[in-house]
Amino acid sequence: MKDKLVIITGATSGIGKETARGLVRQGAHVVIVGRNPAKAEAAAEELRREGPGPVDNLLADFSSLEQTRGLAAQILEKYPRIDVLMSNAGVYRMRRKVTVDGYEETFAVNHLAPYLLINLLLDRLRASAPARIVVTGSDAHQGAQLDFDDLMLKKHYGHWRAYSRSKLANIMFTYALARRVDGSGVTANVVHPGFVASNLGSGNGIPVGPFMMALRPFVLSPEAGARTSIWVASSPELDGANGMYFSNSKIVSRANREHRSNHFSYDKDLQEQLWDESAKLVGLS
C-alpha cells in the first residue's frame, strides 16, 4: 500500500480509525473524514505517529447533502488520484430524526450520503484504476427488506428497522455499483466487520454505554473489527474481486471467503429501483 491514496469516512474513532491505522502502517497515504474538527485533528495526529504513511483529515457531516457535495469537491481538488475509497461513516438513532434535507437521518447518513459521495468521485476512481471501493455493511441487514413507499419510515419507525434497512441499502447499492464498474479496473465490495464495540450509538441523547458494557463479552474490539476492512482494501489476493460481501468469519480460507447477504439483496430489479430512487433523493441525474 506504499504511497497509495486511501480515503476513509467515519475514521475519527472505532473501526474507521483502526482501519486507517492498519493502512498507515502499510505506508498508505490516508485521508480520514470526520464531522468534528477537534476529533478529526486529534485522530490525524495520533495516526501520523504510526507512520510511515502520511495522514490528512477532511471535514463533512453526512447528515447534510450539501456538505457531502463539498467533501467531494475538496477531494477532487486536492487529490489527482484515489486508489481506495472506504465508506465507513454511519449512525444508529434510537429516535426518529430528520436531516436538514428532510430525510430520516439513519437512511440519509448510512446510505444516501455514501451513494452521493461515491457517485461524485466515480470518474476519478475510474481514472485511477486499478482502484477499490469498500463499503461497510452489516449482518444486521439479514432480516430486513425495503419498503419503497416508506423509505423514510414516517409510518412505522423503529431504531433497529431503520438501521437494518440502511445496511441492506448499502449492500444493494454496492452490488448495483459493481455492475456499473465491471471491467473498468474499479471494484466495489461490501464488508461485515462483525459485532464491534464502536461509537455508532453516540449522539442519541440517552446512555447507550451500559448496554454496550453488558454485551462486551460478545463483541469484537475495533481493532479486530477492522481486520476485514484492511484485508479487502489492501490484499493482492483480492485483485479483481468485485460485487462480493465479505464477513469477518469468512476470511480464513479462499474457498469460503465470501459471505452471503440476504436473498432480497440479490434482486437486481430492487437494486435498480433503489439506485433510481436514491438518485432522485440526492439530486443526481
pLDDT of residue 143: 86
Residue 64 pLDDT more than 90?
A: yes
In the numeric block, the cell 454496492 is attached to 174
Topology (CATH) of 5-282: Rossmann fold (3.40.50)
pLDDT of residue 255: 44
Cβ(194)–Cβ(246) under 8 Å? Answer: no
Active site residue: 163, 175, 245, 266, which one? 163
Residue spans per domain, the chain: 5-282
Percent of the chain with pLDDT over 90: 77
Query: In whole angstroms, how far apart are CA 242 and each of 137, 160, 217, 228?
Result: 15, 29, 34, 15
163 is catalytic: yes
pTM: 0.89
